[in-house]
Amino acid sequence: MSESKFRNSSLFPEDVDIDLNGLDTSVAKAKNKRSIGTILVEAGIISEDDALRVMALQREKKIRFGEAAIMMGLISEGDIRYALSYQYEYAYLPRSSGKVTNPELVAAYMPFSHEVDQLRAIRSQLKLRWFDKAQGHAMLAVVGAGRTEGGSYLAANLAIVFAQMGERTLLIDTDMRTPRQHVLFQLNNQLGFSSLLAGRAAVASALHSIGFIPNLDVLPAGPIPPNPLELLNRDNLTELFEWAGKTYDIVIIDTTSVSAGADAMIVADKAGAALAVARANSTKLSAFKDMMGELKRSNINVVGSVLNDPPLVDVAP
């Protein structure tokens, strides 16, 4: 589909400005050159008045800004790590910022934890096995057999860890039955995926840029419609996915559980690949096997599977 066709579509009206050619990275590069003090103020960790007091002590003692702020008891070593990470394009959200999102977004809050190390390992495998924009492999649907597998958790955190490595990332919530991404990211859900498919909104009005994670946009599910399957069979789903695959480096798609209907299979087929998810001591083996069989019968490329909450294994010294 050509760019001119995108621009003449109901999803992309000509009077709405949305970049189809990628972001101008000059603004992002300028942000990375900000001082530690500026980063801490913008994150809400210290106030502007605090920063001025720290700078006065910094000049008096001839020490670094961070050292002076710690000496005054205004910040912690963790806050310094946060500011340094932001300068090195590895943004996350420290608890001390006072900003509130869902604690399930572990990649945003605890980027150096073992749990997020596992997410980064999954990211590496997905880069090796699937993601290659030049080959048209930019989209991946996260698919689970039931509602308790943790697919929304996995999709959200994968989107964050891809964005943290500098990939321009889009997270789409296609679950029009029990959506969760707007809850996880604390987003307004009045417009979203369902609104686009129903022709009730343009993409630019439904997308949310996540301020504390540069490079990450989220398209929430939108209002729950009475006819999700019918909406998924409309032509503008293909148009939306084609645009997303051309505009973003990585597109992670959260889906309805397979047990709820055929929604996830339609979305995974349009995406081109699926990542299967299960939860230890929750997912029934028979349900998981049925889901994998259905994916195979539908000729959907399953690039891997993830087990949430794996049992702890003691390793002998």
Q: Give average pLDDT by consecutive 10-residue segment, the chain, 317 residues.
A: 60 56 47 79 89 93 92 89 78 61 86 91 95 92 94 97 95 97 95 96 95 92 96 95 96 96 96 96 94 96 92 49
In the 8-state DSSP scheme, what is residue 249?
Answer: S
CA dist 185 → 49, 99, 207, 217 (Å)? 30, 11, 13, 11
Q: Please give the full DSSP string across 88-106, using - where no structure is assigned.
A: TT-----GGG-----TT-H
Closest CA to 272 of 237, 298, 293, 300: 300
CA distance 119 to 123: 6
| pLDDT, position 109 | 83
232 close to 194: Cβ distance less than 8 angstroms: no
Closest CA to 299 of 279, 278, 272: 272
| pLDDT, position 99 | 59
Residue-range domain boundaries for the chain: 3-20+108-308, 26-100
CA distance 177 to 229: 10
CA distance 220 to 199: 15
In the 8-state DSSP scheme, what is residue 166?
Answer: T
| pTM for the whole structure | 0.80
| pLDDT, position 316 | 43
Phi-psi region of 3 (alpha: psi -120 to 50; beta: other; left: phi over 0): alpha
| pLDDT, position 310 | 77
Q: Please give the full DSSP string across 15-58, using - where no structure is assigned.
A: TS---SS---THHHHHHHT--HHHHHHHTTSS-HHHHHHHHHHH
State the CATH architecture for 3-20+108-308.
3-Layer(aba) Sandwich (3.40)
Angle at 166 (CA atoms; ends 215, 240), nearest 5 degrees: 50
* Distance in angstroms between the alpha carbons of the first and the last residue of the chain: 58
CA dist 32 → 26, 43, 65, 217 (Å)? 10, 14, 17, 19
| pLDDT, position 84 | 82
| Beta strand segments in 215-285, E | 216-219, 250-254, 273-279
CA distance 111 to 204: 30
